[in-house]
Amino acid sequence: MTGVPASAAGGPSGARRVKGPASGGLTPASGRALAREARDRAPGGFGGGKARRDASGPEDVRAAAASSATSSSPSSSEGTGTAEAQGSTRAPRGGKIAAAAVDQASVWNIANLLTMLRLLLVPAFVMLMLADGGYDPAWRSFAWAAFAIAMITDLFDGHLARTYNLVTDFGKIADPIADKAIMGAALICLSALGDLPWWVTGVILGRELGITLLRFLVIRYGVIPASRGGKLKTLTQGVAVGMYVLALTGWLATLRWWVMAAAVVLTVVTGLDYVKQAIVLRRQGIAERKAALEETEE
């Protein structure tokens, strides 16, 4: 019987040809593997495979740039900090120069000008005090005016210097010199004219010069602060000397003697107090230095 060939009839051999792997064909398993690999490699695929994960889109580029900027920011900030640190280290040098310039310019401030005025009043007071033999009431009144101005400016120059930050090296040196000069000139003139015993002048001037020297000797250990007794002593001395400069008579002449006696007592008492403070300050300073040396050796 002439029939259709087995391959066309779908016989067993045809079935085997379809089911079996043809030469160069794909099995279902290999086809699925290839499809999965192609999907993974596709940039716009929906599988979210490796190719998509590794893709560097614009957002990834921006993220990478931000990351690099963040990583480089410490070094840049460190550089900025270094520059700022260098600027800060250089600033004090300029600040010191500016401060020195200000100090030099501030020598001519109001406090120092008052101190200079007090220094200039010293020779003027002496000339007025000794004019016409030193016993003319009119000239003694002018001398009293010069002495009063000197004492008043002594109160104001220190207050102005502390209040408005006008303290200078010149003021620290010139102010105590002016104080001692005007007081010493008045006491010596009064004793030379016979109005005041020399021993009073010696006690007051000896105390003033001695305490000033004592301050310099213990300044390495600290500063002896001015006490209320010292301020009261200065005020009492000024009033007493001023009353002696004027040509007073009667009960006012008796009153000035008592005021001067109080000034002498305050001068001695406050002088002894300053000596005591200086001794305590020196002992404390020596003890602190010994303690510091022991700590250094340990």
SS3 content of the chain, % helix, strand, coil (to 5): 80, 0, 20
Distances in Å between the Cα of 37 and the Cα atoms of 55, 69, 158 are 16, 36, 96
pLDDT value at position 203? 96
pLDDT value at position 172? 80
Q: What is d(CA 160, CA 158) in angstroms, rounded to the nearest whole number? A: 5
Q: What is d(CA 121, CA 144) in angstroms, rounded to the nearest whole number? A: 11
Give the distance from CA 174 to its chain's centroid: 25
By CB atoms closer than 10 A (0-12, 13-18, 19+), residue 271 is buried
Phi/psi of residue 154, each to 5°? -65, -35
pLDDT value at position 267? 95
pLDDT value at position 82? 44
Sign of CA dihedral 118, 122, 128, 129: positive
pLDDT value at position 80? 44
What are the pLDDT tens digits along the chain (298 aa)? 444 444 444 444 443 444 444 444 455 555 566 656 655 555 544 444 444 444 444 444 444 444 444 444 444 444 444 444 444 444 444 444 444 444 444 688 888 899 999 999 999 999 999 999 999 999 999 999 999 999 998 888 878 888 888 888 888 888 888 888 999 999 999 999 999 999 999 999 999 999 888 988 888 888 787 788 888 998 999 999 999 999 898 999 999 999 999 999 999 999 999 999 999 999 998 898 888 888 888 7
pLDDT value at position 35? 59
